[in-house]
Amino acid sequence: MITIGPSGEKQLLFKLGETEADLIRQLSELALDNNSWNITKAAKSIGINRTTLAMRLSKWGLSDESETKETVSELQAPALPESSG
Query: How does pLDDT run across 34-56, given as a tens digit for each residue?
Result: 899 999 999 999 999 999 999 99
- How far from each other are the two terminal CA atoms of the chain, in whole angstroms? 50
Q: For position 36, what pLDDT does the model report?
A: 92
Q: For position 17, what pLDDT does the model report?
A: 78
Q: How confident is the prediction for the chain on average, in pLDDT?
A: 76
State yes or no: pLDDT of 25 exceeds 80: yes
In order, the DSSP letters of 15-76 are -TT--HHHHHHHHHHHHHHHTTT-HHHHHHHTT--HHHHHHHHHHTT--HHHHHHHHHHHHS
17-63 folds as Arc Repressor Mutant, subunit A (1.10.10)
With a threshold of 0.85, does the pTM exceed it?
no
Determine the average pLDDT of the residues in 17-30.
87
